[in-house]
Chain A
Amino acid sequence: MPNEKQLSEKESLQLITDMIQKVKNSYHDKGVGPLLWGTVVAIASFVSFLQLQYNFSLPFDIWWIVMGAIIPQIILINQDSKTQKIKRHEDSALNAVWLVYALTIFGLSFFQSVVPNAAEQMMQLNGWQIVKHEINNSKPDEVIKPFTPSFYSMYILIYGFPTLVTGIVKKFWPMIIGAIIAYVLFMISCFTETKYDFLLGAIAAIACWFIPGIILQVKYQKQKRTNV
């Protein structure tokens, strides 16, 4: 491009349009993050469903694979920041949304692990306890720990939030549709047993992240081939 070439008004407007278009075409999300999270959350949810359905338990908590996925995610973010040649305006806002999402999920897990024991202690201090009583008296009464029924529904609800924001900001329809599916599944899960909530959670993870991740990866590979 010659440095000081004077342009006509029409050429100037065309140049502005071309450059904006070039920026638009140069940025392609590989979809690795959504693929990774979609896979681990879907597997963990589906295995949790199988454990409840077929009464077996693994020697470890399957949800540790979700925690384990944080390591490759950090590596990916680090690699991306090294190779990224442009920063978009929406990048920092979306990063903040996903950070808030991660903190919310962590908060919910903390709530789930702490509140039942704390509630049990408070009940004992007040001199009462929760007893499971079979209506038809088929089994003797059993003291149980306090629990929140259908708690996994809350996770399904939260899966939809960052997905919808990302979909709207990036005008990426697969994520918008995925989030809408998650909200519908959340409503269904309010009426289903806990084990089916896990199954619905697996479907939500596939709709919110796995499928959009595959679409992004296909688009990226297509763009890569075009550029070669």
Chain B
Amino acid sequence: MFKELDPILHSQLRLAVMSLLISVKEADFTFIKEKTNSTAGNLSVQVQKLKDVGYIEVLKQFKDNYPHTTCKITPIGIGAFENYVKALQEYLKV
């Protein structure tokens, strides 16, 4: 019996965001936008969804008088990501 894939992560942009954040301590919103080739609006919506389920933390502050958003994966997010990868490996038998 295969595990069901986490619907939050099984979406292109959200999975891309989580994959970026899993390998760093924290990343700027602009960095994520650049690496995922997404638009700011689109990315904001997906980041909010990840935040709502507690997978990431979003820190909004000001840097040199400009708004600056930083994203960071949470322990819940790490667990969900690991489970997702395990489930994928089961599907693909790798």
Contacts and interface: CB of A to CB of B under 8 A. Distances in A.
A143 interface: no
A225 to B, nearest CB: 19
Nearest to B25: A87
Interface residues of A, number: 28
B24 A89 contact: yes
Task: State the main secondary structure of chain B at its contact with A.
Answer: helix
B35 A23 contact: yes
Interface of B: 5, 10-13, 15-16, 19-20, 22-28, 30-31, 35-38, 42, 45-46, 63-64, 84-85, 88, 91-92, 94
Contacts, number: 91
A228 to B, nearest CB: 15
Nearest to B87: A9
B92 A10 contact: yes
A13 B13 CA distance: 13
Contact of B46 (A3, A18, A24, A86): A3
A6 B10 contact: yes
Given A1-B12, A82-B63, A85-B27, A23 B20 contact: yes
